A and B are shown apart, each in its own frame.
Chain A
Amino acid sequence: MNYIYYPGCSLKGTGRAYEESFLAIAGALGLAIEELNDWNCCGATTYMGIDEKKAFAMAARNLALSEEQAPDDKPVNFLALCSACYLVHLKAQTMMDENPNLKATIIGALANAQLSYQGRVKIRHPLDVLVNDAGIDKIKSLVVKPLKGLKVACHYGCLVVRPYATFDDQNNPTSMDRLIQALGAETIEWPLKTRCCGGTLMGTIPDVGSRLNYILLKEAKRRGADVVATACPLCQFNLECFQNQISSLYGEPIHLPVAYFSQLMGISYGISNRQLGMQRLFVPLQPSLAV
């Protein structure tokens, strides 16, 4: 199966390690990944607050381009690594399907750029692809350094399961947990696995953003997690990069490594730290791994 890979703006910036590590493990698993040519920003959660039709049109441009890039009339597997990009494209597609007038308008606008949209695109999240396409057994088979004794708090964030839960349970998703367990690590049971990290609020209203991330980090630590695993560059950034500010704001030292699940996979596969972008972490993971 071929995957048209949509990076999204963060994966080339703050979320570089996500792209690096994912491509590394995807290579190891033999997944055929091709970056979408000339992709544009999905608009994230922000654009929809200014102009919804244009937001959908931006997502539709990516979908249309992906159809072009993957010829044949088979469904196109549009792989969006960032959970927000994943949701934005899925929402655009779903709203267009629910609302034929809207779809016609968007398709009409796309035509102005000589693009067409047939609706052949299946929007996939990496957790879905790994757990359902590659399979847990395959993932397990490549492990050379089991992450024994490592306690992982899997944080899915909001947009992977809300408002559409296409490949996992909406209230208690387990795809990442199963994946991490396949690497030999332990996952902790915690009720905050889909609680919001605040998204852009960390940058715009730090007090509010800090509180949300404080809650997550504090509970993960209380339950004995050594590391928090994420599937979204913004969640990773929010949870990881502000721990000094959070510690001083609440008078509690909280330092917990926050890694992408693909980085944890890469480590267990024996892939080099450099390839996995481990040097881009604010809070180093090595000490926890030594456990």
Chain B
Amino acid sequence: MSSTEQKTDGQPRIGVYVCHCGINIALKVDITDLIEFAKGLPNVTVAREYKFMCSDPGQELIQKDIKELGINRVVVASCSPLMHEPTFRRATAKGGINQFFFQMANIREHVSWVTSDRGDATKKAKALVAGAVRRVAYHTPLERSKVPVNANVLVVGGGISGIQAALTMADSGKRVYLVEREPTIGGYMAKFDKTFPTLDCAACILTPKMSSVRAHPNITLWSYSEVVGVDGYVGNFKVKVKRKPRYIKEELCVGCNQCVEACIFKEPKFADEFNFGLSKRKPIYMPFPQATPSVVLIDPDTCIFFKTGKCKQTCIKACERNAVDFDQKEKIEEIDVGAIVLATGFKPFDAARIPQYGYKKYPNVYSSLEIERLVNASGPTGGEIIMRDGKKPKSVGIVHCVGSRDEKTNRYCSRVCCMYSLKLAHLVHERTHAEVYNFYIDMRTPGKGYEEFYDKLMQEGVHFVRGRVAEIRDWPMTAEEVGKLVIRVEDTLIGVVRRIPVDMVILSVGLEAHADAEDVRRIFNISCSHEGWFLERHPKLAPVSTFTDGIFIAGACQGPKDIPDCVAQAGAAASEAMALIDKGFVELEPNTAYIQETICSGCKTCIPMCPYNAIRYIEDKKIAQINATLCKGCGTCVAACPSAAAQQNLFTDEQIFEEIEGVLNYV
């Protein structure tokens, strides 16, 4: 108890305050009857009613009674604690007693809003008030603890979302660690040619940001690295990062590519991941021309030296800076951060899962991302649309909703495919003057300038067929179909089945959560939704925070979205992380559990039960001990403890049993 708090003689003097909440409660619950009833409960000194308890006059009622009548326990019968528990706790504290000498009875969400009969409602309200009154007599004074927050931040994922979040936080002076699994940052945006609806060149708008990240004094960029372990709690995370070996000394390499030129492989032979296998690379390679950091790496699975031990190692000779290091090992770094922003992005749907579309069966069926690379000036064909057979297409079919809106693959709509399909239609039409057909179910163009973009495409002469493509085959029924891929679809707007022969098919694949999203979420102790996306705290009001304090999510890892939304979310996550850090400390609810040392027998039943790893076994005392800052007050250990040594503040056995007795005995 603080010095400003009043002393009492130990006897509880309870004030009961019943709120009308306008007509929300008063219409269903007989307030007068309830007040009379409350007056008769044990230890009740005063019982009042008011139209809106949460208002200033309402709160003042409480404070006045505490000061003048020596009230030392407060019960407010009104709405849900989720609404106003903090309000009334503050009012109680302002009155001069410990704020935890307060208990709320929910007679709105739990009574007046869900009971039809007035008599039943009043009866139930009485029971809840009686329970609260009996309980509050056993409340003890508690304090919120304050824990300092580490000022560093970790951003996981170096796509546009991660980059934006990192830059925002670094600009405000925070120390940011940006960890990216691939050898370069940039994510999927770096692979696009143009972005919708403005047709901005993706690299032109992204690479300045990538350079800023590299150059920023407050950002430590760890590429080709992964987070492998997270311990601790909000404000005090201990993170282990695995730095994978490039076999190149990052600090020495300047990206001159002499080593790549000199490699004993005269011609590149291995599928280039950045171009989805449409071009080849050597075992030593620069991921793409604007890779950041601009450092090459060696792939041990294809490098002759790693596979056989015998190689002239011309790369070492060619490097003037002696940056090649075949002995480089994996390294584990440990850092302390106060907040984490996860921006790990998405994975494109594998179109081979829909055999009807012929992906990987017919060479001229492509996924949209492969086309992004073909259309890109620094891609495998220099920006020309050339098919695998070397020809340019005269007709192209773009199939929407591949792996989206489909019970057999993903039920949800992937949100960006209609727009990027329109963009690809425009780019392909522009480069090849081919007949372009877009096959769609619905045209989803909600953003700024999106509907106008759709109109532009229609004006350009792209054909739009409203119908989900049923099959893509190569059996011809007419002369025009010989040698082509035939798309069979119902043109639902005209109302007829059509067979449309095309040279090339582009499958607009949807977005999915990464294959290892489950594993990643476990490392950070957050949840995933049913489809595998990271779960936000509230779908409307808290889209960037998670149920784990201090861990924020941003970008496509939370759900499919386009670049404007990714950047917006990244800013939001950054600001919430910064708010946490700038506050400097975290206040923890005192409803934590504790072990009564004298009762604990050291049976260790509670320790593995704790979902937050908050309980330790003290070897020399042979008892369990709970770390109050990690404890979330879930009550599992309390329930599990065979000797009732584990108890929880605000939920002691006494308090709970009194509440039960109150509910059962007086009505």
A137-B517 Cα distance, complex, nearest whole Å: 43
Per a CB cutoff under 8 Å, which of A171, A192, A219, A222 touches B355?
A: A171
Interface string of A178-208 (1 = CB under 8 A from B): 0000000000001110000000000000000
B356/A192 in contact, CB under 8 A: no
| Given pairs A171-B355, A190-B475, A215-B475, 9 additional interface contacts (CB within 8 A) | A171-B356, A172-B355, A191-B473, A191-B474, A191-B475, A192-B475, A215-B477, A219-B475, A222-B475
In residues 322-365 of chain B, which contact A (Cβ within 8 Å)?
A: 355-356
Please tell me the size bucket of the interface on B. under 10
In the assembled complex, how far is the CB of residue B469 from the closest CB belonging to chain A, in whole angstroms?
14
Q: List the A side residues contacting B475 at CB < 8 Å.
A: 190-192, 215, 219, 222
Q: List the A side residues contacting B477 at CB < 8 Å.
A: 215
Q: Give the dominant DSSP class at A's interface.
A: loop
Interface string of B383-411 (1 = CB under 8 A from A): 00000000000000000000000000000
In residues 222-268 of chain A, which contact B (Cβ within 8 Å)?
A: 222
Q: List the B side residues contacting A172 at CB < 8 Å.
A: 355
B residues adjacent to A (C-beta < 8 A): 355-356, 473-475, 477
Cβ-closest 7 pairs across A and B: A171-B355, A191-B473, A219-B475, A191-B475, A172-B355, A192-B475, A171-B356
Q: List the A side residues contacting B473 at CB < 8 Å.
A: 191
In the assembled complex, how far is the CB of residue B178 from the closest CB belonging to chain A, in whole angstroms?
43
**Which among B355, B474, B475 has the highest number of chain A CB atoms within 10 Å?**
B475
Q: List the A side residues contacting B474 at CB < 8 Å.
A: 191
Q: List 12 A-B contacts (CB under 8 A).
A: A171-B355, A171-B356, A172-B355, A190-B475, A191-B473, A191-B474, A191-B475, A192-B475, A215-B475, A215-B477, A219-B475, A222-B475
A residues adjacent to B (C-beta < 8 A): 171-172, 190-192, 215, 219, 222
Q: List the B side residues contacting A219 at CB < 8 Å.
A: 475
In the assembled complex, how far is the CB of residue B497 from the closest CB belonging to chain A, in whole angstroms?
13
A15-B496 Cα distance, complex, nearest whole Å: 37
A90-B475 Cα distance, complex, nearest whole Å: 32
A171-B355 Cα distance, complex, nearest whole Å: 7
In the assembled complex, how far is the CB of residue B100 from the closest CB belonging to chain A, in whole angstroms?
54
A191-B488 Cα distance, complex, nearest whole Å: 13
Q: List the B side residues contacting A190 at CB < 8 Å.
A: 475
In the assembled complex, how far is the CB of residue B477 from the closest CB belonging to chain A, in whole angstroms?
7
A192-B473 Cα distance, complex, nearest whole Å: 9
A192-B356 Cα distance, complex, nearest whole Å: 12
A222-B473 Cα distance, complex, nearest whole Å: 15
Q: List the B side residues contacting A215 at CB < 8 Å.
A: 475, 477
Q: List the A side residues contacting B355 at CB < 8 Å.
A: 171-172
Q: Which residue of B lies closest to A216 (CB)?
A: B475
Q: List the B side residues contacting A192 at CB < 8 Å.
A: 475
Q: List the B side residues contacting A191 at CB < 8 Å.
A: 473-475
Q: Which residue of B lies closest to A220 (CB)?
A: B475
Q: Which residue of A lies closest to B486 (CB)?
A: A191
In the assembled complex, how far is the CB of residue B359 from the closest CB belonging to chain A, in whole angstroms?
12
A192-B355 Cα distance, complex, nearest whole Å: 13
In the assembled complex, how far is the CB of residue B484 from the closest CB belonging to chain A, in whole angstroms?
13
Q: Which residue of B lies closest to A191 (CB)?
A: B473
A191-B481 Cα distance, complex, nearest whole Å: 15
A178-B475 Cα distance, complex, nearest whole Å: 23
In the assembled complex, how far is the CB of residue B353 from the closest CB belonging to chain A, in whole angstroms?
11
In the assembled complex, how far is the CB of residue A97 from the closest CB belonging to chain B, in whole angstroms?
21
A172-B358 Cα distance, complex, nearest whole Å: 11
Q: Which residue of A lies closest to B472 (CB)?
A: A191
In the assembled complex, how far is the CB of residue A77 from the closest CB belonging to chain B, in whole angstroms?
30
A4-B32 Cα distance, complex, nearest whole Å: 81
A245-B477 Cα distance, complex, nearest whole Å: 19
In the assembled complex, how far is the CB of residue A257 from the closest CB belonging to chain B, in whole angstroms?
20
A191-B470 Cα distance, complex, nearest whole Å: 13
A192-B474 Cα distance, complex, nearest whole Å: 10
A190-B355 Cα distance, complex, nearest whole Å: 14
In the assembled complex, how far is the CB of residue B376 from the closest CB belonging to chain A, in whole angstroms?
32
In the assembled complex, how far is the CB of residue B190 from the closest CB belonging to chain A, in whole angstroms?
35
**Which among A172, A190, A191, A215 has the highest number of chain B CB atoms within 10 Å?**
A191
In the assembled complex, how far is the CB of residue A87 from the closest CB belonging to chain B, in whole angstroms?
20
Q: Which residue of A lies closest to B474 (CB)?
A: A191
Q: Which residue of B lies closest to A223 (CB)?
A: B475
In the assembled complex, how far is the CB of residue A216 from the closest CB belonging to chain B, in whole angstroms?
10
A171-B352 Cα distance, complex, nearest whole Å: 12
Q: Which residue of B lies closest to A214 (CB)?
A: B477
A171-B408 Cα distance, complex, nearest whole Å: 14
Q: Which residue of A lies closest to B356 (CB)?
A: A171
Q: Which residue of B lies closest to A171 (CB)?
A: B355
Q: Which residue of A lies closest to B477 (CB)?
A: A215
In the assembled complex, how far is the CB of residue B149 from the closest CB belonging to chain A, in whole angstroms?
55
In the assembled complex, how far is the CB of residue B197 from the closest CB belonging to chain A, in whole angstroms?
36
A222-B477 Cα distance, complex, nearest whole Å: 11
Q: Which residue of A lies closest to B358 (CB)?
A: A191
A219-B476 Cα distance, complex, nearest whole Å: 8
A212-B356 Cα distance, complex, nearest whole Å: 19
A264-B355 Cα distance, complex, nearest whole Å: 29
A191-B474 Cα distance, complex, nearest whole Å: 8
In the assembled complex, how far is the CB of residue A189 from the closest CB belonging to chain B, in whole angstroms?
10
In the assembled complex, how far is the CB of residue B291 from the closest CB belonging to chain A, in whole angstroms?
39
In the assembled complex, how far is the CB of residue B127 from the closest CB belonging to chain A, in whole angstroms?
42
In the assembled complex, how far is the CB of residue B355 from the closest CB belonging to chain A, in whole angstroms?
4
A215-B473 Cα distance, complex, nearest whole Å: 13
In the assembled complex, how far is the CB of residue B499 from the closest CB belonging to chain A, in whole angstroms?
12
In the assembled complex, how far is the CB of residue A89 from the closest CB belonging to chain B, in whole angstroms?
25
In the assembled complex, how far is the CB of residue A123 from the closest CB belonging to chain B, in whole angstroms?
24
Q: Which residue of A lies closest to B355 (CB)?
A: A171
A192-B475 Cα distance, complex, nearest whole Å: 8
A190-B356 Cα distance, complex, nearest whole Å: 13
A83-B327 Cα distance, complex, nearest whole Å: 63
Q: List the B side residues contacting A171 at CB < 8 Å.
A: 355-356
A107-B355 Cα distance, complex, nearest whole Å: 40
Q: List the A side residues contacting B356 at CB < 8 Å.
A: 171
A29-B599 Cα distance, complex, nearest whole Å: 76
A171-B473 Cα distance, complex, nearest whole Å: 12
In the assembled complex, how far is the CB of residue A219 from the closest CB belonging to chain B, in whole angstroms?
5
In the assembled complex, how far is the CB of residue B372 from the closest CB belonging to chain A, in whole angstroms?
27
**Which among A172, A215, A219 has the highest number of chain B CB atoms within 10 Å?**
A219
In the assembled complex, how far is the CB of residue B613 from the closest CB belonging to chain A, in whole angstroms?
44
